[in-house]
Structure 1
């Protein structure tokens, strides 16, 4: 899976401008929070954030930082989607728990070997189980849990075709 393919899927989850009162991320567009946009150098109104600028932020701020291209494409996509939705550190620790290694947030040789030793589909199922359990512990579960669960279900469907 390429970044371009992963981005198109992600945008299907994220959509346009939203400013939900229960979202601690505040105003978002294309799934990019105002804080993330500012950190990436965008200082305009969030309503005006272009899809192309969002693509750049996702590439450098998530895909490359999480090194999603170093995994089987199906795993790379899942990690990318989780990183965007829950943070890179959380995503990496979820992947490590799914691969049954210490969840220290550092992708080193032990983690890479454990990931490679797993069947990609089985690892993705375990990864999404970690993701779902993570969501249920959040204080915003009541407001956003149904949507997050739909996202996990859709990603499991993708996994079957990707592996």
Structure 2
């Protein structure tokens, strides 16, 4: 680990992560100090070593994984104080790509590139052009919380995640203003992984299509009956009976069509907000 701030940032990330956990609702599965079994297996294989329980991870392996797969992935050494830590903690919790997406979205008009979760020169240049680092940290953390609230695991881990992000926000701002950052604390549930794969499903528009189609079809039938009523006009009883059916069909068809269009608008609006929160197209 090259920089002293990386070491200090890692110490706070590890405080948030705790030791071994294997919560049945945690999508990360078995995890030791923030490193999942899947990540540890891949790391060991890349070194030509056999797999083993993540409980047995050594400090050297732990530091190497954090340095290469998280700190370097968000280009921590190229980021301003405070921003580096905020991105680092988010990367450990939700993956580097998702953490970088929060940053790119938080940069607003300063960032001219694609929101793709890649920390390239364009992203770094935009970060360095920011005058108010505290405000940027607020926007990144707001993006992170909005993302987490759209996860199916939010009811289980939301309280812990909220406490963790609150501390990340405070620590990041302290570093950004050259103040001494507070120590980090462990909160129950805060170490659970928050992955985009666990986002809520977007509402289906099929029911809206069915309702709208039924409404249109009902209108066609009502029109056909209207024509029949005109032909049966001399037979007042039959004409009156068909007229009542026409009125009922017209009302039901209108309600179905309006309801279908209304639900489609609601579904599209919710899907758009979901996509904005989780950073997907």
TM-score range, shorter chain: over 0.9
Q: Residue in 2 aligned with 1:60? A: 68
Q: Does 1:76 align with 2:84?
A: yes
Structure with max Cα Rg: 2
Cα offset, 1:107, TM superposition: 2.6
Q: Residue in 2 aligned with 1:46? A: 54
Secondary structure of the equivalent of 1:73?
coil
Q: Does 1:91 align with 2:88?
A: no
Name which of 141, 144, 152 aligns with 1:139: 152
1:46-94 CA distance string (max 9 Å, x none): 2222333212110111111221111002101110100000111101111
Structure 2 gaps of 5+ residues are 46-50, 177-281
Distance 2:121 2:54 in 1: 39
Distance 1:114 1:121 in 2: 15
Structure 1 gaps of 5+ residues are none
1:105-151 CA distance string (max 9 Å, x none): 22333322221122211111100000000100111111111111001
| Structure 1 vs Structure 2 CA RMSD | 1.4
Name which of 19, 23, 31 aligns with 1:16: 19
Runs of 4+ displaced beyond 3 Å: none
Q: Residue in 1 aligned with 2:117? A: 105
Distance 2:58 2:120 in 1: 35
Q: Residue in 1 aligned with 2:28? A: 25
Distance 1:89 1:47 in 2: 26
Secondary structure of the equivalent of 1:111?
helix
* TM value normalised by structure 1: 0.93
**Distance 1:160-1:108 versus aligned 2 partners, 3 A rule:** closer
Distance 2:173 2:87 in 1: 15
Most deviating of 88-97 and 48-57: 48-57
Distance 1:110 1:7 in 2: 26
Q: Residue in 2 aligned with 1:128? A: 141
